[in-house]
Structure 1
Amino acid sequence: MLKINRIGRRIVFAFLIFGVTLVFVFGVILVIALQSFEANMLDDILYTELQEYQMQIKNAKTLGFPNSRMTIHTYITPFDEIDDMPVHVRDLTQGFHNVTYNDRYFRVLVEHIGETRFTVQFDETSIRQHGRDFVYMVWLCSIIILIIALVIGWKVSLRVINPIKQLVKQVSAFKHQPGESLDLSVFSDDEIGILAEKFQHHHEQLQQLLIREKEFASNVSHELRTPVTSISLAAELMSAKPNLSALEFGRIRRIQRAVDEISELIETFLMLAQIKNESNLFHDDCALMPIIRKVIEQQRVWLGDKPVEMIIEEKEPLKVKAPPGILSVLVANLVRNAFRYTNQGTVTVSTTTSQLIVTDTGAGINAAMQAQLSEHTVNDNSGNTDRARLGLSIVQRICERYGWTLSFNSAEGQGSQFTVLFF
């Protein structure tokens, strides 16, 4: 849901950026246009006033305010009497000027005609105050526009995000109710509705695939169990015969071990094929140490007469939320590989509050297989390590299914250590 909220925030942010940019550009243009219009208007007024005075008083040389009005004052001064003019306009050159004097603002036009200096002054203090009020009004309107943009962006984001949230909610429900279907009626006939239809189509295909997989696993397990059971019973009957030679008894034991291993593989594949989200449905804590001891006794046959010491260390009690059968398969594959490929030394199985650690002093793992383990692609079926590869592949699949982490540390000829982190 965090990513969906980010999409909504991005939509609102986009509207906000658009609103800020639009308002800023519009406000700046409006203020600049106002100031330019004001300056041009005042310059036109001053120039018009000057032209009128020039026409009315062509030879005037009197200092003062002839025809002075409230906002416009005109000074007509000979050059030798300029020092008698007001200080704020005395030293101005010809042209237009902005002058501030006694906290008032003036627009001044100065022009020399013959021996006379014409100075027209316009008091624009009130105009500037109105201009500031206008700028404040522009920014106030800008803030209102930004608020409106935020509200519109929020509304639009809700209209866009709500269907996505509904789709995510319904798809997430598949995790706990795999057989459920999407309610397509809540989606409009748009891109999200099309996406929901595609999700539904793929979900139905996956459900059909799972059903076929379960049926296949059930049928195959039934077909395989019958001959395996027959072989197992035949081996038991043969081992019960009197006067068996050591060679014959050894061969029968090899048959029984092979039958036991095939039976374990059948049960493992059947369980892996049928489990669907059981990691979320199984809530009972299962103690791992009793399973470890039982598995070790079952797998001791792989040690035979090899000088290998078996060490069990329960550093801290470990309980895992998973079916005992799955835990048994996990431990059995790790222990079996350790027993099979350790000719001398030790095999240590230890637990902490969150980890299962299986360490051996056996043959170790070559670089090629380590690369496959790191990439989760244990698929090479060559050489004498077929069963080891298959066992590690099963362990990887179980860990992936339940969200556990499998790590290893191994050097060829120096042994291996496998660690399963449960939480």
Structure 2
Amino acid sequence: MASDTASPHPKPEPGPVPARPGAARARKFRRRLRTRIVWSFALLGFCLTVLFAYASILARERVENQLVEDVMNRNLEESWRRFVVSGGTNTAAPVQQMKGYLYPPDKLERLREEKPEWYRLKDGIHTMSGTDENGDPFSFRIGVRKTPNAWFYLTYDMGQVALGEVQFKRTLWATVAVFTLLSLLVGWWSASRVMSPVSELANRLRAYRGSSNPTQLGPLFPEDEVGELARALDDYSTRLTEVVQRDREFNADVSHELRTPLAVIRGATELLLSRSGLEPKVEQRLLRIQRAEQACSDLIGSLLLLSRNERGHGASNVAKVADQLLDSHRAQIGGKPLELMLEGEQTLVVDAPEAALSVALGNLIGNAVKYTQEGVVLVRVLEDRVEVIDSGPGLSEEDAAKLFDRGYRGTHAGHSQGGGIGLSIVSRLCDLYGWQVYVRPGAERGVVATLRFTPAEDRAPTALPSPKA
């Protein structure tokens, strides 16, 4: 049956299409959700322990500095007190494991020569670090008290403090690693607990596939978010089942009601054709009515299979069906200088009813005949496909991108009748039977429309959903 779309066929030549990736996507989504929960816990634990470690280091440094400064200030005061009490004869003695130095005015010049960096220091607590003459690092605090009578210096070696600080930091970072790992384990356990009811819900939904009377999911889950989701799925399933059931009943009713008048038309035309002495014009019109009735019957059968998502079976000879379609279209050419030809493999058989093959191939041939004003429409049957080659006006890029869209009428459709659904039906039939349909520009002009068949042994079985699934 001719379609209403511009020249023959759809989509540019495709590669293999992956079959039904929905389940894989669902599993990937579950893994991603579980992973997000686990890593959220790990990240939370890591951030909290890092903040705690950083705060601990800052607090330790601040408290330590304050304690060291307080001790050194007290020792400086004690050194000055001893100096005053002794009348300037007592030097600053070590107090609390610190080293004290006293420089009276007569020794300041020597201090400037031996330790110029000390000489330049002002009153207060200072930090000095660097390397000694042996290349070993050093770090110490030095307290300075300068009076007219003497200069006091008090040093506090920070080497042990620095070593303790390094050990303290190592302990903190080890704690960060331990608590991060612990958070990762807690996150994995929590994710398992959180995802367990969701996984159970998904498993029950998969178990209902193909069931004609699935159990309600809501009563199987507690009154929480998952239970609410289960009840929403029950409601959606009920409404969807009603819609699908009404749709199937409508299709079945329409199919039955249309087959009855078609059967009457078939019987009447066969009876009239059996009479002898019919005028040639009358006989031609009766034959045209007969072909139209057969095309309508094929289309009704194919649409009914599509509505049920059921793949019919049969052994259909492609060359035979193509020859019948070409004969039908020869009677409708009218006065166009157009030749319809068939060539190629005569033994190609596909596992599909002749009605489905006739609808799919008939739309391709019908488009080629409709949009080719002169020349040749060649149907070439090959080992695994059939090509419809025309010498028409060709195919624009816009048409090639939209030919399979339901309701689209090509740029060459003009004022021709039709709703632009023929190639949409072909596309759906190809999806149902695992075929491929595509177009490419002809060698010189026109279009080559290809219908490629998938061998039965290479085609994965299709799971057919139940009306109530």
Q: What TM-score comes out, normalization by structure 2 length?
A: 0.74
Could you say what secondary structure the match of 1:67 adopts?
coil
Among 128, 140, 159, which residue is 1:99 paired with?
A: 128
Supply the AA of the counterpart residue of 1:206: L
Supply the AA of the counterpart residue of 1:396: S
Pairwise CA RMSD = 3.8
Offset from partner CA, 1:76-106 (integer Å, 9 cap, x none): 1124324369859744512322234665542
Give the number of the structure whose residues are more often helix, by fraction.
1
Q: Tell me which moved more, 113-122 or 251-260.
A: 251-260
8 Å contact kept, 2:405–2:424 = no
* Displacement of 1:49: 0.8
Among 365, 368, 372, which residue is 1:335 paired with?
A: 365
Could you say what secondary structure the match of 1:68 adopts?
coil
* Displacement of 1:197: 1.8
Q: What is the match of residue 246 of structure 2? A: 212
Q: What is the match of residue 384 of structure 1? A: 416
* Displacement of 1:48: 0.5
8 Å contact kept, 2:101–2:154 = yes
Q: What is the match of residue 67 of structure 1? A: 93
8 Å contact kept, 2:142–2:156 = yes
Offset from partner CA, 1:31-73 (integer Å, 9 cap, x none): 1111111111101100001111212212765696x43256211
Could you say what secondary structure the match of 1:386 adopts?
coil
8 Å contact kept, 2:265–2:293 = yes
The yes-or-no answer on 1:298 pairing with 2:324 is: yes
Q: What is the match of residue 18 of structure 1? A: 44
Q: What is the match of residue 57 of structure 2? A: 31
8 Å contact kept, 1:302–1:340 = no
Supply the AA of the counterpart residue of 1:360: D
Fraction of identical pairs, as percent: 26
Offset from partner CA, 1:205-258 (integer Å, 9 cap, x none): 222222233333333323222221122111111112222111221222222122
Take 1:239 and 1:403, find their aligned partners in 2: how far apart are those partners? 39
Evaluate the alpha carbon distance shift between residue 325 and residue 8 of structure 1 in structure 2; reply closer, same or farther with a 3 A threshold: farther
Offset from partner CA, 1:374-405 (integer Å, 9 cap, x none): 54434899943428x34323112223445655
Take 1:358 and 1:42, find their aligned partners in 2: how far apart are those partners? 96
Higher relative contact order (CA 8 A, sep 6+): 2
The yes-or-no answer on 1:77 pairing with 2:106 is: no
* Number of equivalenced pairs: 410
Q: What is the match of residue 458 of structure 2? A: none
Offset from partner CA, 1:82-141 (integer Å, 9 cap, x none): 436985974451232223466554221012111411001223333332232222221121
Unaligned runs of 5+ in 2: 1-26, 455-469
Take 2:208 and 2:268, find their aligned partners in 1: how far apart are those partners? 47
Q: Tell me which moved more, 376-385 or 151-160.
A: 376-385
The yes-or-no answer on 1:124 pairing with 2:154 is: no
Could you say what secondary structure the match of 2:377 adopts?
strand
8 Å contact kept, 2:301–2:356 = no
Offset from partner CA, 1:121-177 (integer Å, 9 cap, x none): 223333332232222221121112111221222222223333333333444455554
Take 1:182 and 1:341, find their aligned partners in 2: how far apart are those partners? 54
The yes-or-no answer on 1:360 pairing with 2:360 is: no
The yes-or-no answer on 1:308 pairing with 2:335 is: no
Evaluate the alpha carbon distance shift between residue 126 and residue 263 of structure 1 in structure 2; reply closer, same or farther with a 3 A threshold: same
8 Å contact kept, 1:360–1:416 = yes
Unaligned runs of 5+ in 1: none
